[in-house]
Structure 1
Amino acid sequence: MAKVAVGLEVLAKDINLQKQFMGNVALLCHNASIDSSCHHASYVFKSIFGHRFKKLFGPQHGFSTDAQDNMIETDHSIHPYFNIPIYSLYSETRVPTDEMLEGIDHFFVDLQDIGCRMYTYVYTLTLLLEKCATKDIEVIILDRPNPINGNTLEGNILDTEFASFIGRHPMPVRHGLTIGELGLLHQKLWARAAANVRVIHMKAWEREMYFTDTGLPWALPSPNIARAESCLVFPSTVMFEGTHLSEGRGTTQPLEIVGYPKIEPFSLFSNHLEKTISNSGLKGFAIRPILFLPTFHKFKDEVCGGFQIHVTDRETFQPWRTGQLLLRELFCHMEADFKWLEPPYEYIHHLEPIDILNGTHRLRHWVEKRGTLEELEAMEQLEAYKEQQRSIALY
């Protein structure tokens, strides 16, 4: 199978394509904005556009991708080598201001998404599209792989009453789109005004691919997604951010493990979880009882008992169902020790953080009443979204 060429590399190798962008250029990117030789997009842009490369922008976690967790904002700065401004779009603003956009003709976006609705980079893109619809600025999305494939969908559709910066649009948890396709779907369904937008397609990417099939190097797109494999477990564990349990931040396996100081994982697994998982019919993974010691974040320097999710068959693994099942069982087992995280979350004070993450209050109620897996699956309702996905598919 041929190595995939991301949009950045397609642009870098096509001089005729480069000549279509004759004005001043800005670039929204982060740590994972690299080509197959690990050259960062900022260096590639400087070599292509020279003095016309005017501004850099960074999403949540910063241009350098070093800021932990949500509600940790990053400052604007000056690039120490290129001597051009770096504007943070996770600062006092999520939307580029008129001043930030002044003098820009072509705004490129090169961000590695992870294929899950709760990941914010796609919303930085759609906010940018909405802003540039009011400007004479072309937005060019340099496409990148969906690391957990472009076919598989899973999870409930977000209820827009629970919209936030970790879920702006009505799509499922595992959305099955590249970032370029998501930009096009935004324009087709959710944008109030059309932006001047185009996507520079990847070469050799196929919808059934996972990131490890692409032949591309992995660079972490956010501080706690250090491995491409973490992307597939993320839809299982991200909702634990809405609880007092640790989701593994402060360890070397963040968002692949969950736990709490009062959990004794070995007896819980042997006496209950193992049988529950077996009876659930869920496949493609193994749950391993572990002890871990976070060095920062929740339960810093406290030993936690918990579980690691190991993917054994990525084709049959259903991360959203698996995570909801584990959340339900820990809620029931921990009783009074289990607590939902209290607001604010992502600067929203009037909604429960778990409901913001889930895009509905119905899943919290399902956990609390120990609902069935049949009831969980009934919440998906994906047929209309499948048609929407097909209508803009680029690959």
Structure 2
Amino acid sequence: MLFLFLLLFILVLPAPSGAAVVKTGAELLAEGGFAALKGKHFALITNHSAQVEGVHLIELMARQGVQPALVFTPEHGLTGSAEDGVKLSDSSVRGIPVKSLYGAVKQPQPADLKGIDLVVFDIQDVGVRFYTYISTMGLAMQAAARAGIPFWVLDRPNPLGGDDVAGFVRRELPASFTSLYPIPIAHGMTVGELALMIKGEVMLPGLEHLELSVVRMQGWQRWMRWPDTGLAWVATSPNLASFASALLYPGIGLLEGTSASEGRGSEAPFQMVGWPGIDPQLLAQRLNAEQLAGLHFEPVRFTPVSLPGKSSAPKYKNRELGGVRIEISDPHRVTPVQAGVAVLCALYGTLPEPARRVLFRPGFDDMAGSAELRQGVVAGTPAAAVSARWGASVQRFRKERQGYLLYEEGQAP
């Protein structure tokens, strides 16, 4: 009865207003000595980002005599050091079996869950539809539902905050692992809120009977971006080693679906954009003319190099590129998806015709969630007008998500 009381207490505890430091769901469980998990034969879906004040969740559990029976990991593995797209083999940690959910098998199998009475998810996400951690979460929810096993999400902040919702909603295109849900590119929800919405809006089949619980944070408010939380940034994946890269990722990440460099192979991935032979001054001039809030574009030349563990084979390896470095003057004013659209439009307008024909790669529309973005860029539509096209669908999404939001707007100091 004690662990049930503790869990219910944590789930309904209101987030205090004006809190200087956010406490994650994992931290709250740790403060209670993981009493809610003692006696449980549970599986943990996690990676290196599941930290509380610099200590990993598995280590914290061990100190309290609690240990998962099985660990599942998403893309990049338990240590978060595997490069994008690298398939990992199974391993172990502290004698606990570790199974990868990134490869041919992307969700727990029935044999894995035999004897398991709870699945716990704790991974720091970045608030972007095409970042695959939320796909892993949803597919694991399906597996838990099929097995009749409760599913807990230990909530963590959305680094982008809870107010910025932008980008085309993926509806017409078929679902994929990098675009699994009919949500905007930047959805403005925590993983806990999104899990509730995935179930409630039937974004995946078979979840109607899933016993889903969210261990809420304390202190987080929707206006907050990562620096406001008081939490130390942990690189969520090899190329998002800083909050600056994570803030720009929803827009500049779209360039992964193009032949342009998104800055991989440099010291500032997603903070630089480049193309061979392009005029950096002209590209910077075009972008600064857009007067994008909180951003300034500096002309640069850079040469992507092999960085094993981050980007062994970046686009245009060892070739000098012209482009821009994106400088953030006010992170609260940045609208990253709109910035990405502006970069695409300016880049397309600067490229010669032969380069324009090869800019977009197969898979770009999947990342964008619609063909409309590519079509708008190719047609020469102004960036602001392209971004305006998702306005109605984003407003519908905002209304749909309202019933699943767990945290108040709050007020910035």
TM-score by length of 2: 0.87
Residue 370 (str. 1) matches residue 394 (str. 2): no
Residue 140 (str. 1) matches residue 152 (str. 2): yes
CA distance in 2, matches of 1:22, 1:186: 29
Q: CA deviation at 1:217?
A: 1.2
Aligned partner of 2:39 among 22, 26, 37:
22
Mapping for residues 1-395 of structure 1, pairs under 5 Å: 1-15=19-33, 18-19=35-36, 22-36=39-53, 38-50=54-66, 52-69=67-84, 71-79=85-93, 82-189=94-201, 190-192=203-205, 193-194=207-208, 195-270=210-285, 272-275=286-289, 277-278=290-291, 282-296=292-306, 297-334=314-351, 335-338=353-356, 339-340=358-359, 342=361, 352-372=362-382, 373-381=384-392, 382-395=394-407
Deviations 1:320-371 (A, max 9, x none): 11211211121122131242354xxxxxxxxx31101101111111110011
- Compare 309-318 and 82-91 and name the one that shifted more: 309-318
| RMSD over equivalenced CA pairs, Å | 1.7
CA distance in 1, matches of 2:360, 2:372: 16
- Compare 4-13 and 366-375 and name the one that shifted more: 366-375
Q: Taking structure 1 as reference, are residues 98 and 244 closer, same or farther at Cα in structure 2, changes over 3 Å only? A: same
Q: Which amino acid aligns with 1:75?
A: S
Q: Which amino acid aligns with 2:365?
A: D
Q: Which runs of 5+ in 2 are unaligned?
A: 1-18, 307-313, 408-413
Q: Which amino acid aligns with 1:3?
A: V
Deviations 1:166-201 (A, max 9, x none): 111111111010000010001100243331111111
**Which consecutive aligned stretches of 4+ in structure 1 deviate over 6 angstroms post-superposition?**
none
Q: CA deviation at 1:231?
A: 1.7
Q: Which secondary structure state, in structure 2, belongs to the residue aligned with residue 291 of structure 1?
A: strand
Q: Which amino acid aligns with 2:92?
A: I
Q: Which runs of 5+ in 1 are unaligned?
A: 343-351
Q: CA deviation at 1:383?
A: 1.8
The answer to whether the 8 A contact 1:32-1:218 is kept is no
Q: Taking structure 1 as reference, are residues 375 and 147 closer, same or farther at Cα in structure 2, changes over 3 Å only? A: closer
Q: Which secondary structure state, in structure 1, belongs to the residue aligned with residue 55 of structure 2?
A: coil
CA distance in 2, matches of 1:313, 1:35: 27
CA distance in 2, matches of 1:315, 1:11: 30
Tell me the number of residue pairs that the alignment of Structure 1 and Structure 2 aligns.
Answer: 375
The answer to whether the 8 A contact 2:288-2:296 is kept is no
Q: Taking structure 1 as reference, are residues 10 and 361 closer, same or farther at Cα in structure 2, changes over 3 Å only? A: same
TM-score by length of 1: 0.90
